Amino acid sequence: TVYAIIFSVSMVGTFLRSQWIVQAGPRCSQVLFSEMMERVQHAPMHYFETTPLGRILNRFTYDMETVDITLTEAMSMLLTSVGWMSAGIAVQIAILPWQILSIFFIFYVYWSLVLHSRKSAVDLQRLDAVSRSPVQAKLSECIEGAPTIRAFHRSHYFARTFRDTLDENTTAMMNFMAAQRWLAVRIQLVGATGVFTSVCIVVSFNEQLRLPAGLAAMLIIWSSNMTISLGFMVQAISESEAAITSVERLSAMATIPQERTPIVGTTPDPGWPTSGALTFHNVTMRYREGLPLALTGLSFSLRSGQRCGIVGRTGAGKSSIALALFRLVEIEPTGSITLDNTDLATLSLSDLRGRANGLCIIPQDPILFAGTLRDCLDPFGEKEDAEVYEALRAVRIGNAGERNMVE
């Protein structure tokens, strides 16, 4: 009966622990990733101009991997060690009640070590994670600027700066690992001391205690197991607390500023815009707070069907007009941009851009996304094959009549 109860409790505990790890861990990661992706996709342009690309990539790669794997494994080890440790304490007290004094002493020493270690462990883990962002940023910069770097014969310079950045990350990582080893060595020493104490008590006072050989052996075995479990628990607490810094950084992504959208917006007709009459009235725009104005009191009108070319020196505001038109950068409230007598500031961003018959732009720098050519030409799958072929013929790209051109 006793073994049946122990077996049943063990099965229930293992099942609950496995369900928590298998379901709660991935669900937490999914929620964090979805929220972070949503915030980044709707962040204004100045966020990407002021935030290094390596930092964003680090959040989506290293920090997500830490939450998905490292934190889940550490929490699993923590639950397992707590179960084993609780069982070990119960068995030892049942065999030898005086063993509770040794257990209290071991707990006190272990907890003192944890409190001393956590003063630096979290910050060292944070330094390790933060120092990874410059590595990814440097790598992406070198790959994208490889032609320019070679043209100016600066390959050795950039290779040296990349190695320096990599050394900084390695230094932070080694300091964190050294702190973990420092704690592990002391935990093992304290654990060995606890086992040695149990053995000394059994050997020295067995005549007074009158413990059978089987119970004495069980006391020593469970003393050793509890020490091992307590070591795993302390290590799991330290690793979990260090991995929580990734959750902290992922949660901070929820504070990313978002593109402005009207609280009560105007819903345009499905066919809007119909004529394409465009009016800029006293448009003033700056890219972000604290920067000088890029557009100052700009006013002009374009009739339906009229073509307009904007000419100016670098920095005159040519690109700024397009950014203001698509609301990639918001204008000051003193001005307005109207299209077919509809103020663009009153529309939601989904109605202004990214929908059929909406505003479209041909970017200055062409981009081919992963996938087929057809996916790049018609990413939303709204056009027929004949229309895709016609677009290819219009720009004279190969034999547009062949299906393998778009598949």
pLDDT at 201 exceeding the cut of 90: no
> How far is residue 178's CA from residue 164's CA, in Å, rounded to a whole number?
21
Higher pLDDT, 32 or 79: 32
Q: What is the pLDDT of residue 398?
A: 57
End-to-end CA distance of the chain: 68
CATH number of residue 270's parent domain: 3.40.50.300
What confidence tens digit (pLDDT) does each residue in 284-294 have? 999 888 889 89
**Is position 119 within any domain?**
yes
Question: Left if phi > 0, otherwise alpha if psi is -120 to 50, otherwise beta: which for 341?
Answer: left
Does 135 lie in the same domain as 284?
no
Same domain, 277 and 322: yes
Same domain assignment for residues 401 and 269:
no
Per-residue pLDDT reduced to its tens digit, 322-335: 889 988 888 998 89
Nearest to 21 by CA among 66, 75, 65, 63: 75
**Per-residue pLDDT at 214:** 76
- Whether residue 335 contacts residue 283, with contact meaning beta carbons closer than 8 Å, is answered with yes
Token duo for residue 361: 């732009």
- Within a domain: 362: no
Q: In Å, what is the CA distance from 122 to each residue of 179, 202, 251, 292, 337?
A: 10, 41, 17, 41, 50
Domain-located, residue 360: no
Would you state the pLDDT for residue 400?
A: 47
The parent domain of residue 306 ranges over 262-350
- Do residues 320 and 407 both lie within one domain? no
Percent of the chain with pLDDT strictly greater than 90? 7
Residues 44 and 80 in one domain: yes
CATH code for position 96: 1.20.1560.10
What mean pLDDT is predicted for residues 199-220? 75
Q: Answer yes or no: do 113 and 212 share one domain.
A: yes
CA–CA separation, 177 vs 94, rounded Å?
Answer: 39
Q: Say if CB 118 and CB 166 are below 8 A apart.
A: no
Residue 7 and residue 66 in one domain: yes
As a whole number of angstroms, the distance between CA 235 and CA 191 comes to 13
Give yes or no for residue 202 having a pLDDT over 90. Answer: no
Residues 159 and 28 in one domain: yes
Residue 58 lies in a domain: yes
Q: Is residue 355 part of a domain?
A: no
In a domain, 357, yes or no: no
pTM: 0.66
Rounded mean pLDDT of the chain?
82
Q: Is residue 356 part of a domain?
A: no
Rg (CA), the chain: 32
- Note whether residue 282 is domain-resident: yes
Instruction: Tell me, yes or no, whether 274 and 155 share the same domain.
Output: no
